[in-house]
A and B are shown apart, each in its own frame.
Chain A
Amino acid sequence: MAKKKPADHAAGSGVTRRGFLGSVGAGAVAAATGAASRAEAVPEITDPEEMVAVALTINGRRHRLLVEPRWTLLFVLRERLCLTGSKAGCERGECGSCTVLVDDEPRYACLTLAVEAEGREITTVEGLLVGEELGDVQRAFAEHDAFQCGYCTPGQVVAAEGLLRANPRPTEAEIRTGMSGNLCRCGAYAHIVKAVADAADGRKTGGGS
């Protein structure tokens, strides 16, 4: 079969590809495809019968809630339970600011439907407090200045907690891989790696909480 170039499909559409790209320009193309720039459609009103009852276990507490199937775990945590430690960054699995533990494993709450979290143990950064005190990973981040603006920090702390639960004695390379799903716009990476290493050392010597 002869190769068809896409132009064959342009015939009759009234819009040429060249004209289209010419009119928006490459920069605008990049901006338009950039997820954050897209206006979210106004959500339609939901019938009560479209809500489903779920029981979520979050930071050791059981919550019974009515949710829409389309609600993400991140939305439910922040907007329904006021657990605003988990941050909304990209909402596309690219930045890690929404990281929570699901049965001890770090996951992105922005890509997890709340209905999918039923029956699992969810831990957010709030759940890492020990009473009113910071947990050991949180303390290590504070001691090492492992942040500037702090927006990524809750996700970083939870990712570190998940890493240490799976691998209590990570090498520096393992820390870097383990933390690679969390971006920091402020570039605090060097201090983050030190903080995680320090928290790991603390647990090794039994100083963890």
Chain B
Amino acid sequence: MLPKFSHLRPATLREALAALDASDARIHGGGTDLVGCLRDRVFTTERVVSLSAIPELRGIAATGDGGLRIGATATLTEIAGHPAIADRFTAIADAARVVASPQLRNQGTIAGNLCQKPRCWYYRGDFHCLRKGGELCYAYEGENQHHCIFGGDLCYIVHPSDTAPALAALGAVCRVSSASATRSVPVDRLHVPPSVDPRRETVLEPDEVVTELVLPAPPAGLRSSYLKIRSRNAWDFALAGVALALVFDGDIVRSARVFLSGAAPVPWRSTAVEAAITGQALDAATIAAAASAAVAGAEPLSGNAYKLALFEGLVAGQLEAIRG
């Protein structure tokens, strides 16, 4: 049985925002992560405010300037099957398609995917670890096979979202509302590294709702992709993943945005890979240099040095694939 809470399912965003003003409310998108966290007592809440009956948060549509608007409660199934996304924002379709299982993609929303809680087994288990308000990181000297190789500092999670690196690579921006204000947060600045605050996953305040994601029009020559490696072929989180958004001019990479998943507590921008390929044709030497750059400076933990080889292979393979 879940811990007790009250539940509100308003039909308008205005009512939802008003209900979130209360101290301890939690937002319910599809609930696939929220219900799991409540069941495992990762946190409790007095009030659940559901976004599932609010029409204005749904839908996927082209914007006037050639970009795309994805409503916060668009499901991963809708995103994975949307022709314009597959065609023009390929990395996002690639990512949505490999999230979890069909059932979870039918229920899980894009905003919930970005705002989901970490999957560290201590955090989900009965351990009052640092991120949950305790004093210690149990993973640091414990079981850390699935933890980070970059950006660890007090806490060593990897961010579990597959869509975040793809959205970040393509320059997506979250539109965020509270009862009193509206603001924009680029996806690449949504997540909080533990060096800033190990108890916080996103920059959002508890009364703020992601209402939509806005993608800029793809520039001419843009190609994008996302692939993750998991420990089995059915549903699983990324051990290592990479989102590429490269703008080509003929064979030459004019500009690049590269984000890794399974690597760090936040979607990890690999400026080293970007530098290795920008201005270059993706020949064998450039790809080899980019693959080594992907893991340069990594700080593996006691149980996850195997990830270095995974990332090298993954980055090389994905650069070959996108070169065509």
Contacts and interface: CB of A to CB of B under 8 A. Distances in A.
B7 interface: yes
A38 B137 CA distance: 21
A190 to B, nearest CB: 15
A116 interface: yes
Contacts of B9: 115-116, 118
A111 B32 contact: yes
B255 interface: no
Chain B interface size band reads: 35 or more
Contacts of B124: 33, 35
Contacts of B153: 3-4
A79 to B, nearest CB: 10
Contact of B154 (A4, A52, A71, A183): A4
Interface stretch (B96-104, B178-186, B269-277, B284-292): B96-104
A6 B195 CA distance: 12
Interface string A70-102: 111001000000000000000111001001001
Interface string A150-178: 00000000010011000000000000011
B39 interface: yes
A32 B4 CA distance: 24
Given A70-B5, A93-B104, A177-B102, A5 B140 contact: yes
A92 B137 CA distance: 24
A154 to B, nearest CB: 14
B231 interface: no
A159 B102 contact: yes
B229 to A, nearest CB: 16
Nearest to A118: B9
Interface residues of A, number: 62
Contacts of B220: none
B235 A91 contact: no
Contacts of A96: 101, 103
18 contacts: A3-B195, A6-B141, A8-B154, A17-B140, A20-B138, A33-B122, A50-B4, A68-B4, A69-B4, A93-B32, A93-B103, A93-B104, A96-B101, A107-B103, A116-B28, A159-B103, A181-B100, A183-B234
Interface of B: 1-7, 9, 28, 31-32, 35-36, 38-41, 48, 50, 52-53, 77, 100-104, 106-107, 121-122, 124-127, 130, 135-138, 140-143, 153-155, 195, 233-235
Interface of A: 1, 3-6, 8-10, 13, 15, 17-18, 20-21, 26, 29-30, 32-35, 38, 40-41, 43-44, 46, 50, 52, 68-72, 75, 91-93, 96, 99, 102, 105-108, 110-113, 115-116, 118-119, 159, 162-163, 177-178, 180-183
